[in-house]
Structure 1
Amino acid sequence: MIVALHGAEFFAYHGFYPEEQHTGNCFIVDIEVEFEPDGSNGLSSDNLKDTVNYEELYHICGRRMQQPQKLIETVATFIMEDIKAQYSFAEKITVSIKKLNPLAGAKVKYTQITINYTR
């Protein structure tokens, strides 16, 4: 099973250059968490504790996006580590972050990094 959060938008102050850290930018985060439901009751329990809560994924992103970093690779790694800590049963996690309009004076729609974890 995969629970995903796609297109979560945040305004944050990540960036290597001081002007990026001062003016901020728009970021888009995508997350996919793959896991096998518990064999004893699967998801027939209809209980949120037996799955990945996409609302919590959003809150994890929000907390990390508000902590400025120079590299979005670092932000993605922290998000992934928080997801692993919250959902120890996760078998695969993919976190992608897009930075919109990343280069002043250049015509670039976005840059993107993607990190993967497999247990």
Structure 2
Amino acid sequence: MNSKIIIEDLRIYAYHGVLPEEKIIGTWYLVNLEITTDLWNAVESDALSSTLNYAEVNEIIHREMAIPSKLMEHVGGRILNTVYQNYPGITFLKIKITKTNPPMKGEMKGVSIELEKKITRNTSK
């Protein structure tokens, strides 16, 4: 059975980009993270130890977003890898990062990248 935890539109000010001014001025980013994992033990137990602690995941996102990078893809990959390393029961991750004020012509809501990671486990011994 699939069950998910979804962090939606987490707004973080950060300093990512190729242009030098992006690392000085910064801008707002929206982060959406979807985590597929088994939540049914938590359904039965009502215990935090039976689930994925999304407050800790929020801290991971903030920590990784605080490290300036040229590419949002790089930041997104770091977030996915760190979340998975901390919660090996995850079977699927999807992240969308939106730069809300990219330095480009035209009026827009933003520019986004989206990364998906399906975790397959080797069950042979």
Which stretch shifts more, 3-12 or 105-114? 105-114
**Contact 1:101/1:107, CA 8 A, preserved across alignment:** no
The aligned residue for residue 103 of structure 1 is: 103
Specify the code of the residue in structure 1 equivalent to 2:32: D
CA distance in 1, matches of 2:29, 2:59: 15
Q: Percent identity?
A: 28
1:1-119 superposed matches below 5 A: 1-37=3-39, 42-43=41-42, 44-119=44-119
Name the SS for the 1:28 alignment partner: strand
Task: State the aligned residue count.
Answer: 116
Q: Equivalents in 1 of 2:49, 2:92: separation in Å?
A: 18
Q: Hey, what's the Cα distance between the residues in 1 that align with 2:11 and 2:99?
A: 10
Kindly indicate whether the alpha-carbon contact (under 8 Å) linking 1:8 and 1:28 is maintained by their aligned counterparts in 2: yes
SS in 2 for 1:76: helix
Deviation at 1:95, TM superposition (A): 0.9
RMSD: 1.3
Q: Is the 8 A contact 1:2 1:35 kept in 2?
A: yes
Equivalents in 1 of 2:7, 2:55: separation in Å?
A: 9
Distance 1:92 1:104 in 2: 33
Answer whether contact 2:4 2:39 (CA < 8 A) is retained: no
- Aligned letter for 1:78? R
User: Residue 88 of structure 1 aligns to a residue in which SS?
Assistant: coil
Q: Note the C-alpha offset of 1:108.
A: 2.2
C-alpha separation between the residues in 1 aligned to 2:58 and 2:72?
17
Residues in 2 aligned to 1:77 and 1:49: alpha-carbon distance in whole angstroms:
26
TM-score in terms of structure 2 length: 0.87
